Structure 1
């Protein structure tokens, strides 16, 4: 799980770098060449969707999402463990919904084309399906880890 998470974080970082380069080229084209490339805005948007969802999926395993811990601090250790298992079960269920409905959405728009790129619009929704499935996997991994730890 750790290797997959690290790979997702690295892919997200590469996506951010690529998006920055595309936006930099767009700005250079607009203000220096007086001709902004038609593909840059949609490319940057597509890259952002992919890297954000990859980073969000990795965040489930790495636990770098925002959370409120006040309830955990007021509970006994055994109950904290149960709470964290319940939270990851909820994350798994919601992530499954993201994966399923993201896949359905990608299928519904697969015939639509992004005009400036010539790609199927589904490429903007495939990350929902992939990241949702990875979040389920990571949540189940966290549940297993919590279940088997000693209190």
Structure 2
């Protein structure tokens, strides 16, 4: 079961990264159009700045959840690698629990914020301001899923989330 959830998480993470990259490309085109329209056509579109900001919020916040799954986040392992395995395991479990709690807060407060701001409209786009805050609860749910899987994996198989030595990661990358 753990392998199926992990495989699902990996596919979901891959999709999220592709969507985030598409958002970055779309934002680049919008900004390019804005610059061209402003300096060449002398007619800057009113919607481009707000559309770019919303796209940036979406791809950055959602990609942050994927970054957690992929291990792109900053972490310090010096203490964890210098203690005994039972203590290191407790540290991994505590770290995953803290991340899950942060994901729960993002989910709950993001839903609340999205609801509070839903009646406000972005004038240049004509859409609810809640679209700018919707990535918070979505990212929170993804973080809960990814960290929850890692937490469960560490409970079921001690050492499952332990850092592998750099040499073994390089060897694994070479065989893929």
In the alignment, the residues of structure 2 paired with residue 108 and residue 39 of structure 1 have an alpha-carbon distance, to the nearest angstrom, of: 23
In the alignment, the residues of structure 2 paired with residue 7 and residue 66 of structure 1 have an alpha-carbon distance, to the nearest angstrom, of: 22
In the alignment, the residues of structure 1 paired with residue 32 and residue 83 of structure 2 have an alpha-carbon distance, to the nearest angstrom, of: 50
Could you say what secondary structure the match of 1:98 adopts? helix
Aligned positions of 1:61-76 closer than 5 A: 61-76=69-84
Tell me whether 1:112 sits opposite 2:120 in the alignment.
yes
Could you say what secondary structure the match of 1:111 adopts? coil
Residue 32 of structure 2: which of 21, 24, 28 is its match?
A: 24
The answer for unaligned runs of 5 or more in structure 1 is none
Q: Contact (CA 8 Å) 2:89, 2:158: kept in 1 or not?
A: no
In the alignment, the residues of structure 1 paired with residue 71 and residue 79 of structure 2 have an alpha-carbon distance, to the nearest angstrom, of: 17
Label 1:106 to 1:150 Cα distance change in 2 as closer, same or farther (>3 A): closer
In the alignment, the residues of structure 2 paired with residue 94 and residue 117 of structure 1 have an alpha-carbon distance, to the nearest angstrom, of: 31
Larger RCO (alpha carbons 8 Å, 6+ apart): 1
Aligned positions of 1:8-47 closer than 5 A: 8-47=16-55
Residue 88 of structure 1: which of 92, 96, 110 is its match?
A: 96
Following TM superposition, the consecutive aligned residue runs of length 4 or more in structure 1 with deviations greater than 3 angstroms are none
1:100 equivalent in structure 2: 108
TM-score (norm 2): 0.82
The answer for unaligned runs of 5 or more in structure 2 is 1-8, 160-176
Tell me whether 1:6 sits opposite 2:14 in the alignment.
yes
In the alignment, the residues of structure 2 paired with residue 24 and residue 77 of structure 1 have an alpha-carbon distance, to the nearest angstrom, of: 52
Could you say what secondary structure the match of 1:93 adopts? helix
Could you say what secondary structure the match of 2:150 adopts? helix
TM-score (norm 1): 0.95
